[in-house]
Structure 1
Amino acid sequence: MQAGRQVATRGRWAVAAMFLTNGFIMGSWAPQIPLLLPRHQISEFTLGLLILGLGLGAVAAMAVSGGLIARHGSRPVLRGFAIAASGTLLAVVLAPNLWLLAATMAVMGALIGCMDVAMNANAVEVERRLGRAIMSSSHGFWSLGGFVGGGVGGWIIASQGAVVHAALVSGLALALVLAVGPRLDGAPPVPRVAGTAGQKHRHWPRSFTIYLIGLMALASMVPEGAVLDWAALYLARDLGSSVSTSGLAFAAFAGSMALMRFAGDGLRNRFGAVVTLRVSGAVAAAGLLGAAFAPLAPLAIGCFAIAGLGIANMVPITLSAAGNLPGLGAGVGISIVTMMGYSGILVAPASIGFVAEHIGYRVTYATLALLLVGVALLARQVAAADDRQVH
């Protein structure tokens, strides 16, 4: 018993390192994006299409990755995709022409997306082994990796160049996943048994609940994308803030979200997933409503920080629920919820910008707060997140 718990504890930190690596790669990708414009002589519109292709590659891969996890288990799938994803940033930077750039970006999205599903599935399995929540803090490590990657990336690019930066990122990511890969824990794949395999390994299960949880993840992630892409413009246009002040909106949101994710597991272990999600949704909605009606930029920034505290644990809870839904493999459930949730990040930026141009940012953020209220009202749907029995 003690030996098994030690293995699970090592696995807990190993999967945390995978989240850190995934976030580090994505954070390091951000400062490389503007350099694609002069390197390939493309317009911002073309760059937008390329980024859309990366996102579509991720969502398309997420749709099928659950089947791989069901057949082979989360450990080998996570190790394989993590190793492959490690070199994607360097491949994108070295792409010699536009067509290869488009292809490598789509592959990058697919590999990162599959790694994302596999590491969430593995985190659910470790939660079962440990008998306590670890999903929120795992996502906190993702946020930490993104912060480090984005924070030092620009400095390295400025001093050493884009290729050296990409090579360093790929090398560090590969070294980390190779080091922690053997320490990953998790359940072996469930054998196919006549009469049960169909539901267990179905790519598109018939359960209505899993799609409802997916919609809850979507409603939780759209406001996150709205703050990321439009909060600075909202502060500048509607509240007259400076460029430097406007940038603090997402910084406050992301910072509070990262901190709360590290505290989220303790809250879930004490109060349960349903109560935590219900309160989180209410806090997030109050924060967005406050930001929507704030008369001054500092007050709006503070309200965005409150919204970050609430949103922080909403997606991790939906993923834990998807991975523990009875009669459904963890990889299949998580792949569906992840795909539905992340599709919101693809759709939100353009659609929210279009809507805001017509009805204003204040009304837009107030409307998004209603989405979060809806998630809070549906909180009972994530009760399975607290079911950590191996099944």
Structure 2
Amino acid sequence: MRRDRLGASGVFAVHGAVTGTFATRVPWLADHVGVGTGQLGLALLFPAIGAIAAMSFTGRLLHRYDGRLVTRILLGCWCAALILPALAPNLPLLCAALLVYGAASGMADVAMNAEAVAVEQAVGRSIMSGLHGLWSIGGLAASGVGVVAASLDVDGRLHFAIMAAILLVLGQFAARLLPPVRPRPGAVEPPAFALPPRPVLLIGLLGFCAVFGEGAGSDWAAKYLTDIAHAPQGIAAGAYTGFAFAMAAGRLVGDGVVNRLGVVGAVRLGGILAAAGAVLVAVSRQAVPGILGFALLGVGVSVVVPLAFTAAGAATTHPGHAIAGVATISYGAGFAAPAVIGGIAGATSLSVSFVVVAVLTGLIAVGAGRFAPRRR
């Protein structure tokens, strides 16, 4: 059990570290390719498109082959794909590179979550939230390295190549510690691409609500405090910091909450806290309550998606297919949230946008019963 958990922990941390490495050098990529803000925004849509398009295909791979092998290969592809954006000489090739980068990210994400569900079931208690917390820690650690590299003006191609090599080695070592996971006997092969099976469709929609709240907090926290609370930019940046820290902390302590309150109780509490945080943001006109509201929102949504994967993996005879479907729906919110929030804000105000966030996260508390363990 200890070996399995160590492997899963390492895989999640490596996946997060690839994301953290990329995020810190986006300004370098823009300068290297020679694109402005609008063109960069267009290019950054392609990782989400690639991930959403590719995730559902992972379920077929997990049915045909050992989950440990699939995770090792896809995680290796994800680490190697980090190099591609830095090699792109122009905008079209950057978009193509980011499409591949996003597809590798999404498929590796589904495979490692399917392995994590198997490890959690063997352990017999909740560990999924903590694994996602380690993903956040891996991202923070790699972003720290990226900040140093950017400060020293290290060429992004060299930075990405070194990090890709290091993370590839670490990821392969961690993945070798995972348990072999084969399809359940008698399970019919799932379709190559499909929406999640009916038993987990609502779980995916509740995950969508959580990721929508996460996207709203991460993308709009600083802007909200600047425009609505009229806070200086330095203080406004603290809203995102508080949100990100609260999410990471919530995931690290989430397993203890699940083991004490149960899955349904933890999800319901998360939905209540997230909705309360969104309401506080919507009514705040000063920086301190606004930052507190974003922190509550971060804590509230932190455990929902990890527990959605756990619930999906246990609900059908095709854990990989179910997790892929839930991931496709849930992560689609990360693609939609920034634009929807911006559209509502343009028509009304950012305060009204966060009323919508409060309603969606409140639905998590209402539908928490769908996360209850079910007999297959």
Same fold (TM over 0.5): yes
Query: CA separation of 1:206/1:91 partners in 2, compared to 1, >3 Å: closer, same or farther?
Result: closer
CA distance in 2, matches of 1:181, 1:114: 15
1:267 and 1:206 map into 2 onto residues whose CA distance is: 27
Contact 1:218 1:343 in 2 (8 A): yes
1:280-314 Cα shifts (integer Å, max 9, x gaps): 10011111111211231011101211221111101
Counterpart residue identity of residue 260, structure 2: R
Aligned to 1:248: 238
For 2:118, the aligned partner's letter is E
Q: How far has the Cα of 1:224 moved from its partner?
A: 0.7
Partner Cα separation in structure 2 for residue 34 and residue 202 of structure 1: 37
1:206 and 1:85 mapped to 2: Cα distance? Answer: 24
User: Stretches of 4+ moved more than 4 A in 1?
Assistant: 200-203
Q: Which amino acid aligns with 1:360?
A: S
| Counterpart amino acid of residue 307 in structure 1 | L
Query: Where in structure 2 are the equivalents of 1:127-166 lying within 5 Å?
Result: 127-159=120-152, 160-166=154-160
Instruction: State the partner residue of 2:256.
Output: 266
User: Aligned to 2:121, what secondary structure does the other structure show?
Assistant: helix
Please show how residues 282-321 of structure 1 align to structure 2 within 5 Å.
282-321=272-311
Write the letter of the residue equivalent to 1:258.
A
**Are 1:346 and 2:335 counterparts?**
yes
Counterpart residue number, 1:110: 103
The one-letter amino acid paired with 1:94 is L
Give 5+ residue unaligned stretches, structure 1: 1-7
User: How far is 1:166 from its partner?
Assistant: 0.8
Check conservation: 2:49, 2:99, Cα contact below 8 A.
yes
Letter in 2 for 1:356: A
Instruction: Give the distance between the partners of 1:282 and 1:186, measured in 2 at CA.
Output: 38
Specify the alignment match of 2:60 in structure 1. 67
Query: Given that residues 278 and 358 in structure 2 are in contact (C-alpha distance below 8 angstroms), is that contact kept between their aligned partners in structure 1?
Result: yes
Q: Find 1:81's aligned residue among 74, 85, 92.
A: 74
Match of 1:373 in 2: 362
Q: After superposing the two structures, state which structure 1 stretch, 86-95 or 342-351, moved more.
A: 86-95
- The superposition leaves residues 297-343 of structure 1 with CA deviations (integer Å, 9 ceiling, x where unpaired) of 011101211221111101111111111113x3110010000010111
The offset of 1:203, in angstroms, is 4.5
Q: Give TM-score scaled by structure 1 length.
A: 0.92
SS of the residue corresponding to residue 197 of structure 1 reads coil
Give the CA deviation at 1:158: 2.7
Indicate the percent of aligned positions where both proteins have the same amino acid.
34
Q: Write the deviation string for residues 190-243 of structure 1: whole angstroms up to 9, x where unpaired.
A: 35x3xx515x66753784331111110001100110111111111001111011
Q: Which residue of 2 aligns with 1:357?
A: 346
The verdict on how the C-alpha distance between 1:15 and 1:206 changes in structure 2, with shifts beyond 3 A counting, is: closer
Which residue is equivalent to 1:257? Answer: 247
The residue that corresponds to 2:115 in the other structure is 122
Matched, 1:12 2:5: yes
The offset of 1:188, in angstroms, is 1.9
Aligned partner of residue 272 in structure 1, secondary structure: helix
Q: How many correspondences in the alignment?
A: 375
Tell me how far apart the structure 2 counterparts of residues 151 and 346 of structure 1 sit (CA, whole Å): 25
State how far apart, in whole Å, the 2-side matches of 1:161 and 1:145 are.
Answer: 22
Could you tell me whether the CA contact under 8 Å between 1:70 and 1:201 is conserved in 2? Answer: no
Q: How far apart, CA to CA, are the structure 2 residues paired with 1:73 and 1:363? A: 48
**Shift of residue 178 of structure 1?**
2.1
Q: Deviations over 1:52-75 (max 9, x none)?
A: 111110111102111111211321
Cα deviation per residue 1:133-183 (whole Å; 9 max; x = unaligned)?
110000001111111122331221231221222122112211211222221
- Asked if the contact 2:213/2:297 (under 8 Å) is kept, the reply is no
Contact 1:223 1:368 in 2 (8 A): yes
TM-score between both structures, scaled by the size of structure 2 = 0.95
> Aligned to 2:223, which of 211, 226, 233?
233
What RMSD, in angstroms, separates the aligned Cα atoms of the two structures? 1.7
